[in-house]
Structure 1
Amino acid sequence: MTKQSCKSISYVIGDAAHTGSHVLPVNSIRSNGSDMLFTAGRDGALVVLDSDSNLCNHIQLHSDWCNDVVWHSGSTLVSCSSDLSVKWWDFDTNEHGLVGHHEDYVKAMCRVSSGHIVTGGLDKVVNTWDLETRSKLSSIDNTEGEMGSIYSMSSFERMVTFGDNKATISLFDTRSNEIVGRLDGHGDIVKSLVMGSNGQLLSGSSDGTVRLWDLKRLEEVKQYTFDGSIWSLYSDDVNLNKFYTGTSQGTLYETNQDLTKPLGQESSGLLSICKFQDELWSSNMGDSTMKNWNDAAKTKRGAPGLIKSRLLNNRRHVVTLSTDNEVVLWDIVKCRQLQKFGTDRAFEDVINQYQTQEILPTWCQVMIRAGQLFVVIKESNYTNTELYGDDIREYVLSRVNDDTRYTLGKMVLTSIFHRFVEYEMNKDQEIRELRMREIKGNSKLSLLTKFSSHDNTPQSSSLPTPVEESKQSYFDAVADQHHQQSLQVDDHAEDAHQLEESGNKRRLKLFSRKKSTISSVSTVEDERGMQEDIPEGSLPGSNETSRKPSEYDANSLGTLIVEARQFYQNATTLNSLSTSQWQPPPVEEVPLIDDLPENLHIIVNECINNSSSEVAIYSDELRNLQMTTLENVLPRWLGTYLLKNRCIVKDYSKVGFTIQPDSTSTGLPALAQGAGRLNAYSMLRVKRILTYITDRFEKPTTEMNQGLQADSWLQVLCHGKVLDNRMTLATVRSVIWKQSGDVILTFRRRQKETKAIL
């Protein structure tokens, strides 16, 4: 069965590694009940504080909001995120990995006494996970029409309560995997839940009320009304007689034996409340501060994070704005910061200053996620933008032709993965050489057999022949090469997940990968209607624990590798193995970008089934990219380009225009073909039009006889404005012509006083 999916590549510009201070609001504050405080932020980070509220450890675990975190056991935390994932992290060893994912934002989670983790999200699904095997144990659907999104959870022993946007609270028994009761009474989303050990429950809702429930009788016991929507609740009282409430207005309340009083006011809504070491902590939506209500000196003030970005017309520069109003200019090709403007310059003012008149199509999507600058590259857009050689000199060391167009997206992707391509080329050479030796062995043995055969030679033997040994050696090598791409999983082993170390940090790779067994080849049709031979079975390329062994990812680069290996396996002559199946783009066509930052964070994303957004299935710094893992997770479209130099050929837009002498022109010969209508690629430069004009003069001019270049003495105008020779037709049409119909261009001899329009 083919699992349809789409994949993209992202990279994060700036300091990808988290510094230990949240840069966006903190969604969840939790404690292990003794000596550790844990926080999860909208910057996708987790932070651990010790008993003295000092930083113990931190990690940038998610690529979007981290919505909740729970302590599992020992030094292991589990978190859930708007990047659709549920992940674990051991803050002692820095080991971390993927537990699984939902198909929409994962908003809430809890741990039950069995050690299992229960999660709920906007996909209206409650999942139960086994952390030891990284597998989903069960799933229940909470859908009721368009409603059913889950926003809150709490647990005691094996029982879980969850609240949704139907204003309903459900009681879920993890032992039977069934809903055993429902509580109705709230008038809006149930945003917060706290279960007591005495069979009672506190619930807070956007309707502005907190309600106390008896879970045994499934009845409401009491109701408390506050000044705004209830965003957070906390109680460490087993009988729930004393609890704390945070509202959307930023007010913190304490309720004790039905007596409620305000403790203080924040500038914005309270996202989370927690008591730790007898001190009360809270976070708010306005900034990344964690306030200590008992000791102001312990309050944790976060660092600034990015909140806004704009990609400029040149498709290379981006302007960003941070939470502290600092404006910065970035180059997304160099992957570096170009200039800081501090807080004195307005965001729009910097954009206006650096905006260009270039009209270029977009080759990537630029966005702010988790307080950082993300660049996302997809198959549908990476070939869109072409630049002339004189526009890319600052990016590359190799020599380029000024008048040749180079594809920007190809340059970026080739530069990011050039070590991977080198790895695959070397590996491919080894495989072909091994197969050549096997074919030579076959040939020699055939001659020996022909001249030394006897009638009494046994037809079979329990001992392998040299050819059989050679053949088996080859197939074993091919199998090893291929199977190393898959991460083996023993469901009963302690190392059911695979980790790869980098320095003193072990980074997230892939989990629950099954060995692939290739049984046969079948033909499938891709989204462009092209037929491809795809091996049946479970190919590498999926890290999702919900995928069955019979499913494979036909969109993985791994399928290309399998096809190449099968070609070599079926080859019977040395000549057919002399040329590699890989023909990567030549550097003359796609020059490498000079000196990309080694700490550039690279992410492979995948949109699976009906998920609302992509899931990050691989993440690492450029210097630590794991080659065998990339074979499994990189998209097939990227492999087709990197290893075969093939991509979708697009019909680029054209511009219709006419050329005629300018009204101020004198002494120039007429055009041999008059002022006929022309069509040209929108990226054609004015400089090329000058050459076209001189080529069609009925007779050469004095300048032409002197061998002068056309751009040194001739100029093109539109609406009476002299055009810069580097300007493209697309820019002329959009910036100068500014109307429908064919663009009318005129020409004349260059006038020294005239300043060209850039």
Structure 2
Amino acid sequence: MTKQSCKSISYVIGDAAHTGSHVLPVNSIRSNGSDMLFTAGRDGALVVLDSDSNLCNHIQLHSDWCNDVVWHSGSTLVSCSSDLSVKWWDFDTNEHGLVGHHEDYVKAMCRVSSGHIVTGGLDKVVNTWDLETRSKLSSIDNTEGEMGSIYSMSSFERMVTFGDNKATISLFDTRSNEIVGRLDGHGDIVKSLVMGSNGQLLSGSSDGTVRLWDLKRLEEVKQYTFDGSIWSLYSDDVNLNKFYTGTSQGTLYETNQDLTKPLGQESSGLLSICKFQDELWSSNMGDSTMKNWNDAAKTKRGAPGLIKSRLLNNRRHVVTLSTDNEVVLWDIVKCRQLQKFGTDRAFEDVINQYQTQEILPTWCQVMIRAGQLFVVIKESNYTNTELYGDDIREYVSSRVNDDTRYTLGKMVLTSIFHRFVEYEMNKDQEIRELRMREIKGNSKLSLLTKFSSHDNTPQSSSLPTPVEESKQSYFDAVADQHHQQSLQADDHAEDAHQLEESGNKRRLKLFSRKKSTISSVSTADDERGMQEDIPEGSLPGSNETSRKPSEYDANSLGTLIVEARQFYQNATTLNSLSTSQWQPPPVEEVPLIDGLPENLHIIVNECINNSSSEVAIYSDELRNLQMTTLENVLPRWLGTYLLKNRCIVKDYSKVGFTIQPDSTSTGLPALAQGVGRLNAYSMLRVKRILAYITDRFEKPTTEMNQGLQAESWLQVLCHGKVLDNRMTLATVRSVIWKQSGDVVLTFRRRQKETKAIL
């Protein structure tokens, strides 16, 4: 049975990959035993240094803390993360992908002599993976009541030891896939393990002790006591006579033949220790520096990372604070940095300076993960926020109507994936033309067989491809098609919502929200079952290749493609093939955002077992997105919108209000049919209320006879405060009215000395 799941889209603003310096503390330092040093940081990055400690390569592989890394073979590293994933990376070719995932943070890992990878995490599970097939070989449950979370691992040959929060060390034989022994004696979490080749084991615990064990007899041999919790251990002595200990107090100790001495002190706890080229390295919890204890000149200073963010009321700007106390203002629609304020301005002061009084629903979730700014878009919220045309002019070069509302989340998603839509439109055209030739008897090719391959470009060179810049793109064609009617459309005729007057049948349309020529319907109507299963197998072309489509494709865009191709295959007339199954949103309805950064990091996330926990199943930079891989991993809800212009139609909240002449108003006609209770969508602007008022006057004023716009001579007030014409009812209710019941609005002729409330 196909597993049901939910998916979301994330993008990372700022540098998509690190410059070689970690921006958050380094959780793990490892080497290949000869000429390469590897580091994994809380910034989700992996860094490779050569024998002279110079940078060889780096990658932003994870979207959360990278907790451990092991060298597998050649130029291949494997890492585990708090983003729940286990991933591989070839630092020579830069190829990378997903091995698998846990259901909670993956805290520790090791490699056994068979080449298999063993991982353990807070889900209390030990998994064994085959890196060649990207498959899980076995799984062992370490649960004991509420305990059993795994924090440390070490291996020798095919034997693995792992420590947990039960203060227990377990011996796991990967050949028999069984727990063959347990060691008890620690009084707290076992945080670090080192196995020797002589059948002995060193363990460090939060109880402040390091213990030496005989694994053959399953007995404790010696115990060493230190000044704090043991966070890290290292030894390259096969007999474990000499080892190094890092404590939560930041002290580094050397123990040699039972003699222990401190080597130095850091400002915070030591996370990892490693000896490389006869030089001792360590990392600490306080910053992203990697210290060389033998040669200070080789110490690697880290860069600052983000630690705090605040999304402002306009739902477009975010203020962040970094580890070096620098405050920065970002635009999450442009995906760019707007202004740096240095370290002299306080985080809250900048927020207060740039905060607006707008009241808008949220269309995304903004968070700091791995020291970077993440924007997460889900099906449940991407249609929430609408902006008027005059608010989006800075983002688009196409023509927009100031009084039309545009959905911000749709604009962002369409702009990120517009090349993918062009690719699918061109591919769809080729498929329909091929089917037409079949119907005409010019070809006996099987449609579904021919297009089961996963080439990233259409097979026929006679048709346009998404990368041929000399040919008109789909979006340009749509823009040309709708341009004239867009220019000539009357504002009121295009209104999508109405201002309703209680007890009165007369209505004036006030919202200027353009309707698509393609009706938007609930995705529930479109969630039909697949008529044909997508073949199982790895995802060709993907850089996250371990998972089979059968595990998650029921919720993927690929099911829409199968349904469309099945429709074409079943078609028996040329007329039924003349129209594409794809009808993307037109540019006049969803303008493209100009100049998104090509290195913008795009991530596709999937929930695990319908829980709130997510794992990244695909990630790449905007310029490198793989089209056929996206077919398999993008969520169905996104495909339904991008390719069919269908989404969940939401019933936006309304605001009840009344309109009456202000007590200072003179010389204005009375309102026809008196004053009634009105009800309008919360995004209605004061400007449109002015139009409603003039429409209801019993007779025209001098200004109306002169053809003047209402906003040039009339003004609306609430609680005696003049309202800005761009203010919405939602803002008026929350910022000015501030009480229950219908909002009371008054109007009068504009007074020059009066300043409007913004």
In the superposition, the TM-score normalised over structure 2's length comes to: 0.87
CA–CA separation in structure 2 for the residues paired with 1:757 and 1:530: 54
In the TM superposition, what is the alpha-carbon distance from 1:489 to its structure 2 partner?
54
- Show CA shifts across 1:161-184 (max 9, x none): 001111111110000000011111
| CA shift for structure 1 position 543 | 9.2
How big is the shift at 1:478? 26
Deviation track 1:661-692 (CA, whole Å, cap 9, x = no partner) reads 11111122222232221111000000111111
* CA shift in 2, pair 1:223/1:476, >3 Å: farther
Match of 2:613 in 1: 613
Deviation larger for 238-247 or 575-584: 238-247
C-alpha contact 2:334 2:593 (8 A) present in aligned 1: yes
- Cα distance in 1 between the residues matched to 2:38 and 2:180: 32
Q: C-alpha distance in 1, partners of 2:304/2:388?
A: 37
How has the CA–CA distance of structure 1 residues 569 and 25 changed in structure 2, closer, same or farther, with 3 Å as cutoff?
Answer: same
2: CA distance between counterparts of 1:259 and 1:371? Answer: 40
Query: What SS class does the counterpart of residue 753 from structure 1 fall into?
Result: coil
Query: Distance between the aligned counterparts of 2:749 and 2:215, measured in 1?
Result: 90
Alignment check: 8 A CA contact 1:411 1:590 kept: yes
For residues 505 and 68 of structure 1, do their structure 2 counterparts lie closer, same or farther at Cα, with a shift above 3 Å needed? farther
Range moving further from structure 2, 126-135 or 535-544 = 535-544
Tell me: CA distance 1:590–1:525, structure 2 relative to 1, closer, same or farther (3 Å). Answer: closer
When residues 509 and 277 of structure 1 are mapped into structure 2, their CA distance, relative to the original with a 3 A threshold, is farther
Stretches of structure 1 lacking an aligned partner (at least 5 in a row): none
Matched residue pairs, number?
Answer: 758
Within-5 A mapping of 1:252-401: 252-401=252-401
Partners in 1 of 2:605 and 2:266 — Cα distance? 37
* More displaced 10-residue stretch of structure 1: 693-702 or 522-531: 522-531
- Whole-angstrom distance in 1 between the partners of 2:299 and 2:504: 30
Distance verdict in 2 for CA 1:471–1:80, change over 3 Å: closer
Contact map agreement 2:361 2:384 (CA 8 A) in 1:
yes
What's the offset of the Cα at 1:294?
1.3
Question: Contact conserved, 2:605 with 2:614, CA < 8 A, in 1?
Answer: yes
1:503-526 per-residue CA deviation (whole Å, 9 max, x = no partner) reads 999999999999999999999999
| C-alpha RMSD of the superposition | 13.4
Q: Distance in 1 between matches of 2:608 and 2:198?
A: 42
Distance 1:634 1:415 in 2: 15
Deviations 1:407-427 (A, max 9, x none): 000011111111111111111
Distance 1:600 1:511, change over 3 A: farther
What is the CA-CA distance between 1:539 and the residue it aligns to? 10
Asked whether the 8 Å contact 1:96–1:506 carries over to 2, the reply is: no
From the superposition, tell whether residues 515 and 138 of structure 1 become closer, same or farther in structure 2 (CA, over 3 Å). Answer: farther
Q: Percent identity?
A: 99
> Structure 1 residue 95: deviation in Å?
2.4
Listed one character per residue, the Cα deviations across residues 633-661 of structure 1 (whole Å, up to 9, x for unaligned) are 11110110011000000111111111111
> Counterpart of 1:733 in 2: which secondary structure?
helix
Q: CA deviation at 1:336?
A: 1.0
CA contact (8 A) 1:271 1:282 kept: yes
User: Structure 1 pair 179/494, CA: closer, same or farther in 2 (3 Å)?
Assistant: farther
Deviation of residue 431 (structure 1)? 0.9
Cα pair distance change 1:497/1:442, threshold 3 Å: farther
Q: Is the 8 A contact 1:690 1:715 kept in 2?
A: yes
Q: Which residue number corresponds to residue 161 of structure 1?
A: 161
Matched residues in 1 for 2:488 and 2:122: separation? Answer: 32
- Checking the alignment, whether the CA contact within 8 Å between 2:515 and 2:589 is kept in structure 1 is no
Aligned partners of 1:686 and 1:727 also within 8 Å: yes
**Deviations for 1:185-242, whole angstroms, at most 9, x for unmatched residues?**
2121111111111211111111111111111111222222222111111111112122
- Decide whether aligned partners of structure 1 residues 453 and 214 sit closer, same or farther in structure 2, where only a CA change above 3 A counts: closer
Q: By how many angstroms is 1:585 displaced? A: 0.3
The change in CA–CA distance for 1:642 and 1:231 in structure 2 (over 3 A counts) is same
CA offsets 1:448-484 (integer angstroms, 9 cap, x no match): 9999999999999999999999999999999999999
Deviation larger for 41-50 or 94-103:
94-103
Q: Please report how far the alpha carbon of residue 258 of structure 1 lies from its aligned counterpart in structure 2 after TM superposition.
A: 2.0
CA distance, structure 2, for counterparts of residue 459 and residue 302 of structure 1: 47
State the secondary structure of the residue aligned to 2:434. Answer: helix
- Report the CA distance shift for 1:381/1:523 in structure 2 as closer, same or farther (over 3 A): closer
Greater shift after overlay, 150-159 or 513-522?
513-522
Closer, same or farther in 2 for the Cα pair 1:720/1:554, shift >3 Å? Answer: same
Distance 1:644 1:459, change over 3 A: closer
1:225-276 residue CA offsets vs partner (Å, 9 max, x unmatched) = 2221111111111121221111111111112222222211111111001111
Q: Distance in 2 between matches of 1:498 and 1:402?
A: 18
1:96 and 1:508 in contact (8 A); partners too: no
Residues 662 and 175 of structure 1, relative CA distance in 2, 3 Å threshold: same
Q: Conserved in 2, the CA contact under 8 Å of 1:86 and 1:100? A: yes
Q: In structure 2, do the counterparts of structure 1 residues 517 and 100 end up closer, same or farther at CA, with 3 Å as the change threshold?
A: farther
> In 1, distance between residues paired with 2:148 and 2:725?
60
**Distance change >3 Å, CA 491–CA 327, structure 1 → 2:** closer
Cα distance in 1 for residues equivalent to 2:247 and 2:160: 24
- Larger deviation, residues 507-516 vs 188-197: 507-516
Q: In terms of mean alpha carbon deviation, does 289-298 or 495-504 score higher?
A: 495-504
* 1:750 maps onto 2:750 in alignment: yes
Provide the C-alpha distance between the structure 2 equivalents of 1:94 and 1:141, rounded to a whole number of angstroms: 34
Deviations 1:542-564 (A, max 9, x none): 99888678655211100000100
1:578–1:522 Cα change, 3 Å = same
Could you list the per-position Cα deviations for residues 289-308 of structure 1 after superposition, in whole angstroms to 9, with x for gaps in the alignment?
00111111111101111111
Which residue of the partner structure matches residue 643 of structure 1?
Answer: 643
Larger mean Cα displacement after TM superposition, 720-729 or 180-189: 180-189
Q: Is the 8 A contact 1:229 1:247 kept in 2?
A: yes
Kept in 2: contact 1:119–1:128 (CA 8 A):
yes
Per the alignment, do residues 31 and 541 of structure 1 end up closer, same or farther by CA in structure 2, a change over 3 Å counting?
closer
Is the CA contact 1:521–1:534 (under 8 Å) kept in the aligned structure 2?
no
Q: Which ranges in structure 2 are unaligned for 5 or more consecutive residues?
A: none
> Higher mean Cα deviation, 513-522 or 649-658?
513-522
Sort the Cα spacing of 1:289 and 1:507 in 2 relative to 1 into closer, same or farther, 3 A. farther
Q: Give 1:53 shift.
A: 1.5
How far off is 1:613 after superposition? 2.3
Measured at CA, do residues 495 and 380 of structure 1 come closer, stay the same or move farther in structure 2, by a change above 3 Å?
Answer: closer
Moved more, 457-466 or 201-210: 457-466
The Cα of 1:609 is off from its aligned counterpart by 2.0
Cα gap change, 1:122 to 1:437, in 2 (>3 Å): same
String of CA shifts for 1:387-425, please: whole Å, max 9, x gaps.
Answer: 000101111111111000000000111111111111111
> Using a 3 Å threshold, how does the CA distance of structure 1 residues 545 and 386 change in structure 2: closer, same or farther?
closer
Q: Which moved more, 1:106-115 or 1:71-80?
A: 71-80
So what's the TM-score if we normalise by structure 1? 0.87
The structure-2 alpha-carbon separation of the partners of 1:517 and 1:636, relative to structure 1 and needing over 3 Å to count, comes to same
CA shift, 1:612, in A, is 5.5
Structure 2 partner of 1:209: 209
Contact 1:521 1:535 in 2 (8 A): no
